[in-house]
Structure 1
């Protein structure tokens, strides 16, 4: 069994070595085992993937902190890889809520996690900058001395606010507050990604698998990206395959979807591969 300290050490090293690395997002223990067996070096949970698997929407109001961390714990226990978590907006507006979420994440065995600056209020979707930075600072303080890599997210582009200057101001404020990794999901082109990477000195995460973005790992590494996640897109790919199979059976009366399905033997082999 690999200790949490050793997982944290390995995770930190991934952010220090040259080039970019991909951190895929399993949504349960089984998908975590498959991704680990394929050779990925770290994993990150997906609140969207977990929410869809539970028949919910991806929102802190729809998925409780306890449920999200129980899902994360199952993923942590499924492999020996470092696991970071999508902790949504820290489950509360107050900085103290973010701090408590970080403490509980460490207790769940996680070695990293992200806090968003999104309010989940459609009328006012992004926290005011000063409060957003205070929330990150509280999370940083809660993680101090613990085996935890804190990622701070600027959510403008996911909430109809494609303001690159404000996004950079936010990421710079989060860096000043002590965040280890910076993340602005939804950046639309390599020039914007390159600008963000050059404006901060901490590692930058980008998400792929969103509609329209078709950059390669090499493209992103050249732009200065350190970490590449896939968010809920692997989970959505699995759901897409399920929906296509269901439509084929209902509409065509055929079962050719099985030709591309993973065999039962291969699936069982992944699930029997116990962590060391």
Structure 2
């Protein structure tokens, strides 16, 4: 088995393990190395929003794919754990983008449906799964539905039903897990997790809102990630430190030499 296939299998196994997979998203080499060196970390996930912000672009496929992939390639080369990439919505061709991601060493990825027509969204999932199969790996697609994130004022029951409908279709198309951002309510998480089956649902941890990872694990969630929020944690610490020293103070005493 190739190293790439081994990493893909390792990442897949982490989603079905007894313990929930917790991914603190990274955006460059130093953040990747810092998180990878943290005890208990077994895989990394990139955050497209954060990578785009690093180069001065807004989120939403505004960063050129070449630049995005180059940063991900650098991250993969800098660590020894499996890396999953945020593919956004696939940059116009989900299958082709997944193939290029695999070429730089990625073994999993998020893919947004952006609430596109149902059949189109399912076809994109199928294209990514096919790209992994053609490369000889079990690409770990975290198929994302924006049914909840883009719900607006729609009746909540209908929103959850649509998230389940799309998620179940993505699972049937070959995705091992489904990402439902915006899902933070305990009972809604329980409902969706039960509809998908054990260790099939992934969610994002939102500061001050989300349940702790240990409680998500009890609800049957496979994976929790942090999206752009880890970068915001870092930037918050940076701005707070800058404000303190500019105001006549000193840098935090507990600062560690992590680079």
Give, in angstroms, the shift of residue 173 of structure 1.
1.2
Deviations 1:107-152 (A, max 9, x none): 010010111011xxxxxxx212121112112222222253221121
**Are 2:244 and 1:253 equivalent residues in the alignment?**
no
Q: Quick one: which of 99, 121, 127 aligns to 2:116?
A: 127
Provide the TM-score with structure 2 as the length reference: 0.90
Distance 1:54 1:159 in 2: 26
TM-score (norm 1): 0.85
Structure 1 partner of 2:18: 18
For structure 2, the residue ranges without an aligned partner over 5 or more in a row are none
Mark the CA change 1:140 to 1:51 in structure 2 (over 3 Å): closer, same or farther.
same
The question of 1:177 aligning with 2:180 is answered no
- How large is the Cα RMSD of the aligned pairs? 1.7
Please, which of 163, 166, 171 is the counterpart of residue 167 of structure 1? Answer: 163
Does the 8 A contact of 1:24 with 1:42 survive in 2?
no
CA contact (8 A) 2:184 2:210 kept: no
Q: Residues 211-226 of structure 1: matches in 2 within 5 Å?
A: 211-226=207-222
2-structure distance, mates of 1:86, 1:185: 13
Matched, 1:207 2:231: no
Number of positions where the alignment pairs a residue of Structure 1 with one of Structure 2: 249
Q: Secondary structure of the residue that 1:267 maps to in structure 2?
A: coil
Distance in 1 between the 2:252 and 2:196 partners? 47
Which consecutive aligned stretches of 4+ in structure 1 deviate over 4 angstroms post-superposition? none
What is the rounded CA distance, in whole Å, between the counterparts of 2:45 and 2:211 in structure 1?
20
- Counterpart of 2:218 in 1: which secondary structure? helix
Whole-angstrom CA distance in 1 between matches of 2:94 and 2:122: 11
Unaligned 5+ segments in structure 1 are 119-125, 269-276
- The farther-off stretch of 103-112 and 143-152 is 143-152
TM-superposed CA distance for 1:76, in Å, is 0.6
Q: How does 1:52-201 map to 2 (within 5 A)?
A: 52-60=53-61, 62-92=62-92, 97-118=93-114, 126-145=115-134, 146-147=136-137, 148-161=139-152, 163-201=159-197
1:43 equivalenced with 2:59 (yes/no): no
Q: Partners in 1 of 2:252 and 2:34 — Cα distance?
A: 19
2:207–2:229 contact (8 Å) kept in structure 1:
no
SS of residue in 2 equivalent to 1:38? coil
1:160 Cα offset (Å): 4.0
For residues 224-244 of structure 1, give each alpha carbon's deviation from its aligned partner in whole angstroms, at most 9, with x where no partner exists: 101111111111101111122
